[in-house]
Structures are given as structure tokens and as C-alpha cells.
Amino acid sequence: MRDEDGPKYFDFEERQRQKARARQRDEERLERGKISPAELQRENMPFRKLRRDRVAIYRSKKTGEFVWMSFERKRGPEGSNED
């Protein structure tokens, strides 16, 4: 068995180096004014593409279609103080 055929292992030290390089690039972009702090924050958000208004919960075994649910808060009647 050759080395490239063997099991793959996660290298924590290499991942730390990758993250450090990414942080350094982000800092340089901020210093040069290429990106605003708010834009950088949006760019680095792990769930930035998550839609709370339409989330697939599971796939129906009968039809194979996704069953969707909304996680948006529903507004109560005006003047209600539930929050």
C-alpha cells in the first residue's frame, strides 16, 4: 500500500497555520481599506447562507421530497409584550 492510499488524518497544526494565514490576510485587507469590518464579519459568518424562512427538516420516504419549516419569529398582535 502506498502512502497516498492510506487513511487520511486531520493535521491540527496545518489547520492552525491555514487559519493564521487567513487572519493575516484579513488584517491586511482591513488595513488597506479593501474591505470594511462589517463586510469582513459577514464574509466570515459560518451560517451566512442559512435561510431562517425556509429550512429543510427531513426528506419524505414516500415522495422523496423535502419537508420544509420556517424558523422566523411570528409577530403577535400590535401591543402584545411577549418578547
Predicted confidence (pLDDT) per residue in 28-50, tens digit: 999 999 999 999 988 888 766 66
Q: What is the pLDDT of residue 56?
A: 77
- Considering the chain, what percentage of its residues have pLDDT values greater than 90? 31
Which residues, in sequence order, are CB contacts of 67 under 8 Å at separation 6+?
A: 56, 57, 58, 59, 60
pTM of the model: 0.47
Question: Do residues 66 and 77 make contact, with C-beta atoms less than 8 angstroms apart?
Answer: no
- Taking the C-alpha atoms of residue 74 and residue 55, their distance in angstroms, rounded to an integer, is 16
Q: What is the pLDDT averaged over residues 15-40?
A: 94
